[in-house]
């Protein structure tokens, strides 16, 4: 995969406080090897100055552009994620930084992460350190659909039935927060833009998959209601392969169907299945478990880097086929010998709140 150089730029009109933050960050990013250009065609990173009053988006031309929107707040509310998430979406950002001068920068991520970097020594450097793994990660969200699914699987099999049952159980346990209603807060043209850029049909959290054979696995689609997984090609997709040249997930679908995209984490599941033949099922939820190993950095969903970091922890687990690993500030990925095996091990042990640090 080609790595774009780390060109970054700024956009929008900053307040005085944001201007200082922007200048500090610019310097810290340059120290890390980022190169500032005033009007690059396809920057890797954009610092988008915005405000609560007029949350304007930076319209990227490329999926590879990581947009961090910065806005100034006098204080943070009691329900920060609920309050700030709409600004993340409206500004079409990958990350929102709400800066409270004298206090610190609150980070809000697409996967509902929220954590604070307090102001003080090394402030800008610490922010740049957190942004870097996210901004430099490679998204694997391109889908290629081959209409070669064998007819006997068009209506699913015992594995798609098991996925459907497991989705219902997770919903009963309240582990599938309702998809965020982005269509309610975005005008249609922005919604199209979001779909194109992030490859999502809506925001919903968590995903599940089950191995079909040596190479292939069934996986939940992107943005669907996981408590109601039914139709092949629409709710559940057959992942056939990953194409590293095209950087695309390859799916087998029935003909005469307008397929939905597969969950953005398909690359992570693909890596785990390929490496561990004994893994038969995988569940990812935005929740936590006591005493689990976790990834060191917060990588965005659907990136090659997140997949690699998770796969590394699975490899180190005493039994990779029955592992639970944490994704920092995000959730857990659990492997099992079957979906039922995973649910049995999770029951009663899941903490609904992901620790944020």
Q: How far is the CB of 316 from Zn ion (least distance, A)?
A: 21
Contact status, residue 133 vs residue 298, Cβ threshold 8 Å? yes
Interface mask toward Zn ion for 238-267; x: CB under 5 A? ------------------------------
- Residue with smaller CB distance to Zn ion, 186 or 301: 301
C-alpha 113/C-alpha 6 separation (Å) is 24
SS (H, E, C) 16-39: HHHHHHHHHHHHHHHHCCCEECCC
Question: Tell me, what DSSP letter sits at residue 100?
Answer: E
Is the distance from CB of 126 to CB of 132 less than 8 angstroms?
no
| Whole-angstrom distance, CA of residue 236 vs CA of residue 254 | 12
Q: Identify which of 282, 297, 299, 286 has the alpha carbon closest to the alpha carbon of residue 339.
A: 282
Q: Which is nearer to Zn ion, 14 or 113 (CB)?
A: 113
186 or 310: whose CB is closer to Zn ion? 310
CA distance 216 to 218: 7
Candidates 89, 127, 85; CA nearest to 105 is: 127
Of 128 and 334, the one with the shorter C-beta distance to Zn ion is 334
Binding mask 203-222 for Zn ion (x = CB under 5 A): --------------------
By beta-carbon proximity to Zn ion, the closer residue of 119 and 225 is 225
Decide whether 86 or 177 has the Cβ nearer to Zn ion. Answer: 177
Q: How far apart are CB 286 and Zn ion at their closest, in Å?
A: 6
Residue 284: CB minimum distance to Zn ion, A: 6
Question: Least CB distance from residue 243 to Zn ion, whole Å?
Answer: 23
Contacts with Zn ion, 97-136, as mask; x by CB under 5 A: --------------x-------------------------
Binding mask 38-67 for Zn ion (x = CB under 5 A): ------------------------------
Q: Name the strand (E) or helix (H) holding 106.
A: strand 104-109
Residue 148 CB neighbour total at 10 angstroms: 12
Residues in contact with Zn ion, counted by CB under 5 A, come to a total of 2
Rounded least distance, CB 119 to Zn ion, Å: 29
How far apart CA 356 and CA 298 sit, in angstroms, is 10
As measured in angstroms, the least distance from the Cβ of 86 to Zn ion is 19
Residue 12 zone, left/alpha/beta (φ > 0; ψ -120 to 50; rest): left
Smallest separation, CB 165 to Zn ion (Å): 21
In the complex, the smallest distance separating the C-beta of residue 235 from Zn ion, rounded to whole angstroms, is 18
- Closer CB to Zn ion, residue 48 or residue 222? 222
Q: Which of 239, 301 has the CB closer to Zn ion?
A: 301
Residues 279-318 that bind Zn ion (CB under 5 A): 301
CA distances from 231 to 141, 163, 215, 259, 281 (A): 21, 11, 22, 10, 19
Partner residues linked to 118 by β-bridges: 104
Q: Is the CB of 111 or the CB of 129 nearer to Zn ion?
A: 111
Closest separation in Å from C-beta 105 to Zn ion: 23
Q: Least CB distance from residue 26 to Zn ion, whole Å?
A: 31
Q: Give Cβ neighbours of residue 335 (< 8 Å, ≥ 6 apart).
A: 272, 276, 279, 281, 282, 314, 320, 321, 322, 323, 342
Pick the closer one to Zn ion by CB: 49 or 107: 107
Q: Give the C-alpha separation, 228 to 256, whole Å.
A: 22
The contact set with Zn ion (CB under 5 A) reads: 111, 301
């Amino acid at each position: 995969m080609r790595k774009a150089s780390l060109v970054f730029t700024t956009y929008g009109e900053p307040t005085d406080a944001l201007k200082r933050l922007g200048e500090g960050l610019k310097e810290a990013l340059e120290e890390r090897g980022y190169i500032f250009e005033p009007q690059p065609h396809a920057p890797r990173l954009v610092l988008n100055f915005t405000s609560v009053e007029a949350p304007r988006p930076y319209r990227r031309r490329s999926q590879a552009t990581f947009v961090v929107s910065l806005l100034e707040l006098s204080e943070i509310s009691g329900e920060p994620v609920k309050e700030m998430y709409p600004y993340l979406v409206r500004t079409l950002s990958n990350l929102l930084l709400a800066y409270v001068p004298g206090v610190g920068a609150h980070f809000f991520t697409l996967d509902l992460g929220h954590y604070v970097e307090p102001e003080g020594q090394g402030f800008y450097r610490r922010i740049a350190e957190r942004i870097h793994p996210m901004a430099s990660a490679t998204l694997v969200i391109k889908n290629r659909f081959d209409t070669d699914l064998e007819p006997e699987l068009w209506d699913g099999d015992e594995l798609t039935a098991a996925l459907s049952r497991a989705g219902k159980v997770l919903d009963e346990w309240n582990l599938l927060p309702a998809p965020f209603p982005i269509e309610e807060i975005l005008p249609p043209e922005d919604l199209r833009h979001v779909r194109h850029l992030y490859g999502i049909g809506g925001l919903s959290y968590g995903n599940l998959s089950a191995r079909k054979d040596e190479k292939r696995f069934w996986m939940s689609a992107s943005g669907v209601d996981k408590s109601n997984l039914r139709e092949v090609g629409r709710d559940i997709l057959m992942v056939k392969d990953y194409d590293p040249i095209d950087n695309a997930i390859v799916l087998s679908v029935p003909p005469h169907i307008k397929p939905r995209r597969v969950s953005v984490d398909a690359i992570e599941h693909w890596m785990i299945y390929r490496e561990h033949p004994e893994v038969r099922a995988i569940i990812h939820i935005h929740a936590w478990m006591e005493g689990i190993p976790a990834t060191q950095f917060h990588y965005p969903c659907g990136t090659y880097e997140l997949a690699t970091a998770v796969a590394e922890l699975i490899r180190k687990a005493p039994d990779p086929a029955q592992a639970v690993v944490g994704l920092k500030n995000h959730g857990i990925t659990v492997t099992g010998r079957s979906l039922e095996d995973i649910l049995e091990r999770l029951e009663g042990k899941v903490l609904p709140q992901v620790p944020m640090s």
